[in-house]
């Protein structure tokens, strides 16, 4: 008998997969751009929320500055594509390596502290990075950078065009799904078990004979890479980057998304991002003040359902199977 939580995760995974395939088919048949681009954006910010969940849900570290790595990835990708070479693979490789390095270096600063101090120091790091980018002329300062070229992405047997909304959506889906799969895999390894131990009780871990520092650092670096890779996809979708990508609202949104979707479930943040993005788009047609509604929903979730949508779903599944058993 699989636990209710695992079943809930499986249900959401399959629903997201099916929905994505349907959307792709829909886009290819009707030539739709609006929904494919919206869904692509939802997945990109879902990747950012995924990195928040890795730290918060798996390791118990609340980062209020993931936008730093997201923005880093986005800007690096824009610079690479515009000024070095319009190559998807080269850009991704460079982003992967440099963001891992950046995550590794900043982990020494951020991981010196715990709990709220960690939250504040990540907040501060991102804020400073945003200020620096905002004032750096070479990066377009407050205007950001426009004119990121359209890409022809070479796979061995076929080619994708980043200007084709359906094809690019599929590519982003594959990238996010790959990162999700890797994270899911890690949770089943000894490293995942140690993360779980850190989240439950970091001090006790030392008594059992494990160091927590290394595994925390690994989590931090992976989270930085996931955020940066997600960010790197952004200019390919929108054709521009702006310093707003590094602002606190982006980090904050990612935390909201992860918490609403279900912290610790990994798939919850992706679902949360899809729901929130579409919700904002729908509600955006009649008011710009969606933060009032989202913020209120967030407060209610934190108080009454701290494990978010996924938590509520698995609770329902559990009570359902109880009834069947009677």
Partner 1 sequence: MIEYLQFILAPQVVNGLSLGMAVVLMALGLTIIFGLLDVINMSHGEFYAAGAFASVSLLAIGVPFWLMLLLVPLILLPIGFLMEVALIQRVYHHKDRHILTLLLTFGVATVLEDVYKLIWGPNPIRPEAPIGGAIEFLGLILPNYRLFLMAFGGLLIVGVMWLIYKTSFGAIVRAAAFDRDMSASLGISVKRVYALTFSFGVAIAGLSGALLAPIYSAFPTMGKDFILLAFTVVIVGGLGSIKGAVIAGLLLTQVQAISSLYIPPVWTEPLVFTVMVLVLMFKPAGLFGGLKNG
Q: Which residues bind partner 1 (CB under 8 A)?
A: 56, 60, 62, 109, 112-113, 115-117, 119-121, 123-125, 127-128, 131-132, 134-135, 248, 252, 255-256, 259, 289-292, 294-296, 298-299, 302-303, 306
If DSSP codes are grouped into helix, strand and coil, which group holds residue 136?
coil
Rounded CA-CA distance 89/102 in Å is 20
Q: Among residues 156 and 292, whose Cβ is nearest to partner 1?
A: 292
Strands 240-241 and 145-146: antiparallel
Q: Among residues 113 and 163, whose Cβ is nearest to partner 1?
A: 113
What are the beta bridge partners of residue 152?
161
Q: Among residues 208 and 288, whose Cβ is nearest to partner 1?
A: 288
Q: Among residues 208 and 292, whose Cβ is nearest to partner 1?
A: 292
Q: Among residues 84 and 302, whose Cβ is nearest to partner 1?
A: 302
Q: Among residues 236 and 256, whose Cβ is nearest to partner 1?
A: 256
Distance in Å, CB of 252 to partner 1, minimum: 6
Torsion of CA 239, 242, 248, 254, to 10 degrees: 0
Q: Among residues 123 and 195, whose Cβ is nearest to partner 1?
A: 123
What are the beta bridge partners of residue 240?
146
Cβ atoms of 63 and 223 closer than 8 Å: yes
Distance in Å, CB of 48 to partner 1, minimum: 16
Distance in Å, CB of 288 to partner 1, minimum: 8
Cβ atoms of 297 and 309 closer than 8 Å: no
Short-list 46, 41, 39, 37, CA closest to 165: 37
Q: Among residues 149 and 252, whose Cβ is nearest to partner 1?
A: 252
Distance in Å, CB of 290 to partner 1, minimum: 8
Distance in Å, CB of 121 to partner 1, minimum: 6
Distance in Å, CB of 77 to partner 1, minimum: 24
Q: Where are the alpha helices (DSSP H) in the chain?
A: 4-30, 34-53, 67-79, 88-110, 115-134, 165-187, 190-207, 213-238, 248-261, 267-283, 290-304, 308-325
At CA 201, angle to CA 6 and CA 206, rounded to 5? 120
If DSSP codes are grouped into helix, strand and coil, which group holds residue 160?
strand
If DSSP codes are grouped into helix, strand and coil, which group holds residue 153?
strand
Distance in Å, CB of 241 to partner 1, minimum: 19
Distance in Å, CB of 198 to partner 1, minimum: 13
If DSSP codes are grouped into helix, strand and coil, which group holds residue 268?
helix
């Amino acid at each position: 008998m699989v636990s209710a939580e695992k079943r809930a995760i499986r249900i959401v995974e399959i629903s997201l997969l099916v929905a994505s395939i349907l959307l792709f088919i829909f886009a290819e048949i009707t030539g739709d751009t609006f929904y494919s681009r919206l869904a692509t954006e939802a997945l990109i910010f879902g990747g950012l929320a995924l990195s928040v969940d890795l730290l918060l849900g798996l390791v118990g570290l609340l980062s209020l500055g993931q936008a730093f790595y997201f923005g880093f990835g986005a800007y690096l990708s824009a610079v690479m594509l515009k000024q070095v070479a319009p190559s998807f693979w080269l850009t991704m490789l460079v982003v992967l390596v440099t963001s891992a390095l950046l995550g590794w270096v900043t982990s020494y600063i951020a991981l010196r502290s715990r709990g709220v101090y960690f939250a504040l120091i990540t907040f501060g790091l991102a804020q400073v990075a945003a200020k620096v980018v905002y004032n750096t002329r070479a990066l377009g300062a407050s205007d950001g950078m426009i004119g990121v070229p359209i890409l022809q992405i070479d796979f061995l047997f076929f080619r994708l065009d980043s200007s084709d909304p359906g094809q690019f959506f599929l590519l982003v889906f594959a990238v996010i799904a790959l990162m999700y799969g890797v994270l899911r895999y890690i949770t089943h390894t000894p490293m995942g078990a140690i993360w779980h131990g850190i989240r439950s009780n970091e001090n006790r871990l030392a008594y059992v004979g494990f160091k927590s520092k290394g595994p925390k650092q690994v989590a931090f670096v992976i989270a930085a890479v996931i955020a940066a890779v997600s960010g790197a996809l952004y200019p390919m979708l929108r054709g521009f980057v702006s310093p707003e990508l590094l602002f606190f609202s982006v980090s904050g949104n990612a935390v909201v998304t992860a918490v609403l979707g279900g912290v610790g479930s990994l798939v919850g943040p992706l679902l949360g991002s899809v729901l929130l993005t579409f919700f904002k788009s729908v509600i955006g047609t009649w008011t710009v003040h969606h933060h009032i509604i989202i913020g209120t929903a967030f407060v209610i979730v934190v108080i009454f359902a701290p494990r978010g949508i996924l938590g509520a779903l698995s609770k329902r599944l559990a009570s359902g199977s109880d009834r069947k058993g009677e």
